[in-house]
Structure 1
């Protein structure tokens, strides 16, 4: 229960922190033109079967490659280390962690805010590359001193590649909705946290 409550509190803090700049930007530049949820991409998913298939393919790829990455860094403390060896009792906290604590705030900032705003200025191709690189750097740079440069670069390339795919699915298949990438991201995080909880690696 303590872990569950901790993840709820942490999620609220994360969402507020990650949404602050996008919300402020919206107030200054777009408040009179568009509702915030629509502007940030929290809207109905378009694309039907094509989008659904894309979500499944990227989710599977993310999970499979993620399993390999988890094995490579199995001795390194990560965000899922809180669940290490806890087992089924950790599942409620894992759901909160995966859906609200990590994937939602990160999707708001990277695919909801950065990708859309940069697309308006530089076009989708450049914007998607920029948000993907920044996403990769955010996830990999912190590991350089722990894992060494080579493993950190692997983490950066992996997370940046997935970020690029998620941006593509959102903007090209789902008409700008960030729900597909939120689903993909959450599924991957659930997998990695469950692996930690049951000491798979």
Structure 2
């Protein structure tokens, strides 16, 4: 399970980073390093203010994630593979939380899509667009198995969280995607552990 999770993570990262990397090669390679362009950089604010934002949104994202997992009981989810496996699943859960979905999705949605749209249309329109697309992507994965009502809830909740993650990155963290990566990873970690230990 652990090695499979690592392999899946590598494949996801390559897949989700391909378009941003090609775009950077064609448009910005001579001006700025890829890591800076995509937002893989430290933020400047060293006060506790940003930490409070990260902690608050992490708590909200985690609560929403657990509520959705409870609502989707009986439906195959991303953490179903860890169900009931206990401590033997913990290493795989850690890899899943940090590198599988959270990092690739932050690269694509907050690192690439939000920044490119923001350059053309401004932050407000760009953040709404990336959050809606983020929500719709997650909803599309469950439409056939969860029904319309639950899927709409999933889209709305994940879009709202995506909006806040875009906000904290661009308005509080100098365009760094590290805050949203942390938030996303924390939520995935808790969800994965809850599945592994049969809490949900």
Shorter-chain TM-score category? over 0.9
Q: Which runs of 4+ in 1 moved over 3 A?
A: none
How far apart in 1 are the matches of 2:81 and 2:70? Answer: 17
Q: Given that residues 46 and 173 in structure 1 are in contact (C-alpha distance below 8 angstroms), is that contact kept between their aligned partners in structure 2?
A: no
2:12 corresponds to which of 11, 14, 38:
14
Structure 2 residue aligned with 1:130: 129
Structure 1 residue aligned with 2:190: 191
- Normalising by structure 1, we get a TM-score of 0.97
How far apart in 1 are the matches of 2:131 and 2:64? Answer: 17
- Normalising by structure 2, we get a TM-score of 0.98
Which aligned pairs between 1:1-201 and structure 2 lie closer than 5 A?
3-48=1-46, 49-201=48-200
| More helix, by proportion | 1
- How much has 1:46 moved relative to structure 2? 2.4
Deviations 1:116-137 (A, max 9, x none): 0000000000000000000001
> Can you give the 5+ residue segments of structure 1 that lack an aligned partner in the other structure?
none
Q: Given that residues 19 and 105 in structure 1 are in contact (C-alpha distance below 8 angstroms), is that contact kept between their aligned partners in structure 2?
A: yes
How far apart in 2 are the matches of 1:17 and 1:147? Answer: 26
Deviations 1:61-101 (A, max 9, x none): 11112221111111110111110110011000001011001
- How much has 1:47 moved relative to structure 2? 2.3
Q: Given that residues 83 and 197 in structure 1 are in contact (C-alpha distance below 8 angstroms), is that contact kept between their aligned partners in structure 2?
A: yes
Q: Given that residues 41 and 177 in structure 1 are in contact (C-alpha distance below 8 angstroms), is that contact kept between their aligned partners in structure 2?
A: yes
How far apart in 1 are the matches of 2:161 and 2:75? Answer: 21
How far apart in 2 are the matches of 1:172 and 1:133? Answer: 19
Root-mean-square deviation over aligned CA pairs:
0.7
> Can you give the 5+ residue segments of structure 2 that lack an aligned partner in the other structure?
none
How far apart in 1 are the matches of 2:130 and 2:81? Answer: 28
